[in-house]
Amino acid sequence: MTARQRQDGDGEGSTANRTTEPASGGLDVRLGAERLATAVDAAAAVADECRLTVGDGMAFRARDPADVAMAELRLDREAFDAYEADEATFGVALDRLGDAVSLAGDESVRLRLGEDGRFDVSAGAVEYAFAPIATEAVRAVEWVDAGSVAASATMAAGDLRRAVRAADLVADHATFAVDADERTLTVAASGDTDDVRLDFDESDLDALDAGAVESLYSVDYLRDIVGAIPSGVPVTVEFVGGGEGGCPLSLEHAFAGGDGTGRWLLAPRIRR
């Protein structure tokens, strides 16, 4: 399920129909196309639009229309081949930026703000220009500070992806649980006829801080999120806060050769 499909009936309307104001602030950066595409595609896993903040690196922050998931993809200054930017925040249609970056192939991408207030994306012989959207029309991301963590684990992205894929075979929701006594992280799902369960003990995990936790999450969101996490990286899984309704699930990982950080937050499904 795409972010657009999940947006069914959202009253804000399409990006194409928005009124835009001329963007302000200088921006002229160059970086590898793969690095920029990874950030853009990851943000697009939860929403069609994001707020792009520059001035100290580059951060893409996106919030799902249903307020179930949010993402932050941050590229440090070290991720760029060249970087000049004033502090500013823009509204960005992720499909437009993604289309522009996809034309770059293996070329380095230059992203700058033109005098007409439009983004100019160039790579080799390709030039693509598109307008930002009004920042205030894009949902702001107010991150939940993981100050209170009920349990956490660090695992390979491939193992997390395999667990979600297994749950997707049998059900629409997956239960993530940490057993403090057995010191295991379990991902399980139950459908009408089939069940699946994957147990990860300390030998399977890079780290485990075991507290008693059990929460239910949407497989649709999990599938899109883990699909956007690069292969071969460790993912820190944290159960934030706690309570009878379950814990928000926080995921964090590196990308862009360690010069970028991806963070995700997924709300639990309330059991009835």
Beta partners for 129? Answer: 120
Backbone φ, ψ for residue 199 (5° rounding): -110, 130
Handedness of CA 30, 35, 36, 39 (dihedral sign): negative
Give, to the nearest 10 degrees, the angle between helix 157-168 and helix 219-228: 150
What residue ranges define each of the domains in the chain, with the CATH number in brackets? 27-137 (3.70.10.10), 149-266 (3.70.10.10)
pLDDT tens, residue by residue, 66-102: 999 999 999 999 999 999 999 999 999 999 999 999 9
Report the pLDDT value the prediction gives residue 7, as an integer from 0 to 100. Answer: 47
User: How far is 33 from 31, CA to CA, in rounded Å?
Assistant: 6
Report the pLDDT value the prediction gives residue 41, as an integer from 0 to 100. Answer: 96
Beta partners for 179? Answer: 184
Q: Do the beta carbons of residue 268 and residue 238 sit within 8 Å?
A: no
pTM of the entire structure? 0.87
Report the pLDDT value the prediction gives residue 6, as an integer from 0 to 100. Answer: 52
DSSP state of 270: P
pLDDT tens, residue by residue, 125-149: 899 999 999 999 999 987 766 568 9
Helix, strand or coil for residue 192?
coil
Report the pLDDT value the prediction gives residue 15, as an integer from 0 to 100. Answer: 43
Contacts of 246 (CB under 8 A, 6+ apart): 214, 215, 216, 268, 269, 270, 271
User: How far is 139 from 67, CA to CA, in rounded Å?
Assistant: 10
- Residues of the chain scoring pLDDT < 70: 1-25, 144-147, 242-244, 271-272
Reading the block at residue 147, the tokens are: 């100050």
